[in-house]
Amino acid sequence: MKYLFPRQPWDRALVAILVALFTGFCILTPGFYDGFHGTLAITEEFLPFGFVALGLSVVILTGGIDLSVGSISGLAAVIMAILIKSYGLNTWLAVLLAVGAGGGLGWLNGQIITRLRVEPLIATLSTNFIYSSIAIALAGASPPYGFGHAFGELGTGAIAGWLPVQLVIFIVMAIGFSGLITRTGYGRRLVMIGYNRDAAHYAGVSVASVERRAYCISGVMAAFAGIVLASYYDAVRADMGDILLLTSITMVVLGGISIFGGEGGILGVTLAVMILGVLRQGMLIAGFSDMVTTMLIGAILLSSIAIKNLFSSRGFDLGSIIRRLSSLRPPERMASKS
């Protein structure tokens, strides 16, 4: 039983925030709480962000970043739509090919970063523009729509009428990613690189190949998110993925994965996915505009990085917050090293 409750202080704080946020919306926002089934159904609105966040986690653990996730998901969805509509391919085969294409685009990111030695930030910023332009060009003027009932089940279906398909897939994937990071050789190498790239290299880790695979994974997950969005709306737009990036990065960072790499885990990311999802939906139902929500999420991203930096050496508890706020001296960074 004790393994069910998070042991990391950061994760515990996230649980508290999630509970507080959910309760708050239930009480203050009429129409937010719509029974147990209704609550589960809300997850369909935000889990595409979660799929992207899982893949991004892997990249951020290496100390990198992938800004092209939004355009990859848009492009993948467009590719899928074209394969179905123009070439008459079987829907699920088209889905498979589109997800594969996402992997390929991520792999290309990895090649640019590791072989051409371009900073991940710049590399994926550039490919983001390239991929999204290709998506717009391919999609043409009229967005494809109508992919059939079976395909729609992916985004909106529910098992036994109440358990959303998306949620099941997300939970399975989250467990899989958690296992990948904590239990496999690949995950160990990933974390080593994130903490200390040089030491990983000296220990015989092929740093470039681990990184390339990380960007590939991120591409696959972004593409999958795009497919789920296509299924949810039963339509495809080239710029569909643009909203994914900010929220997904925030989910990863709020989830406790250090933007500098190495530190953090999937449990925290999963909690952060739920927190930001509830926040987005709650704000929407409460009648706030998307702009306000986006602004708030930007602020959360900024403050979660700042909080992490301030408290990383001291642990995260109320006492240290009070001590920190009451003394205005800069953090004694070296103290823990000697």
Partner 1 sequence: MSRTPGLLAATGIDKRFGANSVLRNVSLSLAPGEVHTLMGENGAGKSTLFRILAGIHQPDAGQINLDGAALDLRNPSAAYGHGIYLVPQEPALLKELSVAENMFLGMLPTRGWFPSRIDWKTIRGQAQDSLSALGLDVDVRDDAKHLSIAQQQLVECAKALLRGCRIILFDEPTSPLTGREVGILFAIMRRLRAQGCTLGFISHRMDEVSEISDRVSVLRDGAVTDEVDRGGFDRARLVRAMVGREVIFDRRRVRREAEGEPVLSVRGLAHAPVFSGVDFDVRPGEILGFSGLIGSGRTEIAEAVCGLREKSAGSVTLAGQDISTSSIGDIIEAGLVYVPEDRARHGVILPMSIRDNATAGQIGRLQGKSGILNRGREIAIATDTMRRYQVRARGIDQPVGQLSGGNQQKVVFGKWMSTNPKVAILDEPTRGVDVGAKDEIYRLIEELSAQGMAIVVISSELEELIVLCDRVIAIYGGKIAAELKGADVTAARVGAAFLGAEAH
| Total residues interacting with partner 1, rule: CB under 8 A | 29
Contacts with partner 1 in 299-338 (CB under 8 A)? 329, 332, 334-338
DSSP 145: B
Q: Residue 185: how many CB atoms within 10 A of its CB?
A: 9
3-state secondary structure 274-337: HHHHHHHHHHHHCCCCHHHHHHHHHHHHHHHHHHHHHHCCCCCCHHHHHHHHHCCCCCCHHHHC
In whole angstroms, give the CA distance from residue 30 to residue 85: 42
Q: Which is nearer to partner 1, 164 or 262 (CB)?
A: 262
Residue 10 CB, shortest distance to partner 1, in Å, is 15
Would you call 68 helix, strand, or coil by DSSP? Answer: coil
CA distance 175 to 90: 30
- CA 123/CA 111 separation, integer angstroms: 10
Whole-number minimum distance, CB 199 to partner 1, in Å? 5
User: In angstroms, what is the minimal distance from the CB of 36 to partner 1?
Assistant: 36
- Rounding to the nearest 10 degrees, give the CA dihedral for residues 68, 99, 75, 253: -30
Measured from the CB atom, the residue of 142 and 336 that comes closer to partner 1 is 336
Enter the tokens of residue 148. Answer: 């059939």
Q: Rank residues 84 and 210 by Cβ distance to partner 1 and give the closer one.
A: 210
Q: How many Å apart are CA 325 and CA 168, to the nearest integer?
A: 42
Site string for partner 1, 186-225 (x = CB under 8 A): x-xx-xx--xx-xxxxxxxxx-------------------
Report in angstroms how near the CB of residue 179 gets to partner 1 at its nearest.
8
Nearest approach, Cβ of residue 135 and partner 1 (Å): 33
Q: How far is the CB of 204 from partner 1 (least distance, A)?
A: 4
Stretch that binds partner 1, among 29-37, 151-159, 176-184, 245-253 (CB under 8 A): 176-184
Maximum Cα–Cα distance for the chain, whole Å? 66
Q: Rounded to whole angstroms, how far apart are CA atoms 109 and 97?
A: 18
Per-residue x/- mask for partner 1, residues 77 to 116, rule CB under 8 A?
----------------------------------------
Per-residue contact flags (x/-) with partner 1 for residues 254 to 283, judged by CB under 8 A: --------xx--------------------
Residues that bind partner 1 (CB under 8 A): 179, 183-186, 188-189, 191-192, 195-196, 198-206, 262-263, 329, 332, 334-338
